[in-house]
Structure 1
């Protein structure tokens, strides 16, 4: 005999409803991924923090580690990276975003002075237009250099990595007619240097011999005291020993001296404003033309893909001078750009 029973009015079960917002079979995996992302964000933030501490404390002036010294030049890129990290943390709704944002803004403050022009001192003397161009082993295009000298009415030109062959090319392009006075130390390879001007020059030796040629000359301006100019080319900090040489050569560049010649340094310093050794030069009474005009982040060198664009070429003048203009120009054939500043003497 078969017995029939009524089915229950409602079927109940203990399984979660797939349509339920809380239903997530991958919930443990998601939590693991979330922890991994958070760990990576924190790790990146700690790297940026360590970099910021090293930059603020000028650690590159205390140790002879080439990697650390070279890394300091990347500060503008680190600032950009920290801002990007703050944005990513914010999008992912991590509390870390606030910490990273504060860190990024703190690092940005290091770049602030390079964005804004400075008030210039009262200077009513002659205007001197100075150009610095690293010729990259003598491969820079001579016609471009001469055209810049002509069009920009350059008075004095410094040329790190000047070679005998480049001297011939420059003269063939007309440099000797525009800037007939010269103090040249042309050498094969990248060791040479030179100064050319449209007023008389007298060679002087204000410092001991350096690895790369760095000639100095008195620029004989009519009706006033001479100006002492040095064509700078500092040994790059590529190794432990190079770092010591680099720091020593930057330190021995001619200082601003009261009641003495106005001094100007122009050329390839192989250092940026994020290197303590370069800031020490400015602190000795010089003014950097790029920073004074709010163009301190205009890059002057690049060797992609191995080297990102950096600002390592400078024209620095006695702080008594005013800087009326500064610009960076493309220089075909060279891994550097040409820079031109107009300096108003006191």
Structure 2
């Protein structure tokens, strides 16, 4: 093969590498667009795939020896790494006493297996459970599975034939302080708010169920912004925001909520790419985390997830140490 015949082939290789790089860069850049456009909101959950794609492109570029294309690809990989790598390094306090364990589960219109929920609660010695999409039938099933004996108090409401019911269960005494807070105006779901008396230390727990962005984009973003305003009103009190945020680290409104003084348990635990949705036979495998445990004034000891039957959301849990008294 002559040199003149080889050159067009390499030009096509360079064009192919450049095209893939542009596509990945555009998808990756979507994470900085604060928008309610549905296609962009979906693309913003694809960050891990962008990072994997860029790594694959870097290897392919090196194997093909397209050295002049290696520089822009390497720059893109470095940018992706600065975003992704912090979530893989733990900043927990494993030596601190485990004083509070919080768990959340989206029951998927009450269809989640109640016995598996109860088993997860007992296995992790859960002190506070937030159950979203709770129906009256699901509440009865959870009680029959033993949660009525495990937890001593509850606050919230089960709602029939809808995804709007939410309940906070607690092993500690609680005082419900749910009111007409503006934070609850942007979602039809119940979002109970309680003060949990953890062995004499008050911890404010706010259950969260934000509207899905693919249904009501403006309401979804307004709900996340309202949670940020709620966060700012709490001062330095030990605080937990827990539930289904219908948002991930790829969404600017969610990052804005977390980055101003809150900690996401799974990022603090260094769990990296948490794939907690969608389960349950969906067309795509789980690839994103929509349920979160956000705290202030508590030290994360460990965190994790549990997949169960009947729901497309994995259980999310975190264990904490209380602030020094």
Whether TM exceeds 0.5 here: the answer is: yes
How far apart are 1:76 and its partner, in Å? 0.9
CA distance in 2, matches of 1:120, 1:255: 23
Taking a change above 3 Å as real, the CA distance of residues 332 and 258 of structure 1, as seen in their structure-2 partners, is closer
For the aligned residue pairs, the C-alpha RMSD in angstroms reads 2.4
Q: Report if aligned partners of 1:131, 1:341 keep a CA contact under 8 Å in 2.
A: yes
1:293 aligned to 258, 261, 269, which one?
Answer: 269
How far apart are 1:169 and its partner, in Å? 0.8
Taking a change above 3 Å as real, the CA distance of residues 64 and 339 of structure 1, as seen in their structure-2 partners, is closer
Q: Which has the larger radius of gyration?
A: 1
Secondary structure of the structure 2 residue equivalent to 1:137: coil
Secondary structure of the structure 2 residue equivalent to 1:310: coil
How far apart are 1:50 and its partner, in Å? 2.5
1:171 aligned to 131, 143, 146, which one?
Answer: 143
How far apart are 1:167 and its partner, in Å? 0.6
1:220 aligned to 184, 194, 197, which one?
Answer: 197
Is the counterpart of residue 208 in structure 1 residue 181 in structure 2? no
1:94 is aligned to 66
2:248 aligned to 272, 277, 289, which one?
Answer: 272
1:147 aligned to 116, 119, 125, which one?
Answer: 119
1:244 aligned to 218, 225, 235, which one?
Answer: 218
How far apart are 1:157 and its partner, in Å? 0.2
1:328 is aligned to 305
> TM-score, normalised to structure 2's length?
0.88
CA distance in 2, matches of 1:39, 1:316: 44
CA distance in 2, matches of 1:259, 1:110: 29
For structure 1, the residue ranges without an aligned partner over 5 or more in a row are: 1-21
Q: Report if aligned partners of 2:27, 2:46 keep a CA contact under 8 Å in 1.
A: no
Secondary structure of the structure 2 residue equivalent to 1:295: coil
How far apart are 1:31 and its partner, in Å? 5.3
Taking a change above 3 Å as real, the CA distance of residues 345 and 327 of structure 1, as seen in their structure-2 partners, is same
When structure 1 is superposed on structure 2, of 111-120 and 262-271 the one drifting more is 111-120
Taking a change above 3 Å as real, the CA distance of residues 76 and 35 of structure 1, as seen in their structure-2 partners, is same
Moved over 6 A (4+): 121-124
Q: Report if aligned partners of 1:121, 1:322 keep a CA contact under 8 Å in 2.
A: no
Q: Report if aligned partners of 1:70, 1:237 keep a CA contact under 8 Å in 2.
A: no
CA distance in 1, matches of 2:11, 2:286: 33
Specify which structure has the higher proportion of helix: 2
Q: Report if aligned partners of 1:123, 1:321 keep a CA contact under 8 Å in 2.
A: no
Q: Report if aligned partners of 2:112, 2:311 keep a CA contact under 8 Å in 1.
A: yes
Is the counterpart of residue 182 in structure 1 residue 154 in structure 2? yes
Equivalent pairs counted in the alignment come to 313
1:161 is aligned to 133
CA distance in 1, matches of 2:38, 2:163: 21
CA distance in 2, matches of 1:162, 1:33: 59
Secondary structure of the structure 2 residue equivalent to 1:184: strand
Taking a change above 3 Å as real, the CA distance of residues 23 and 39 of structure 1, as seen in their structure-2 partners, is closer
What does the per-residue CA deviation read over 1:4-49, in whole Å, with 9 as the maximum and x for residues that have no partner?
Answer: xxxxxxxxxxxxxxxxxx569xx75x65554334322211111222
Q: Report if aligned partners of 1:87, 1:97 keep a CA contact under 8 Å in 2.
A: no
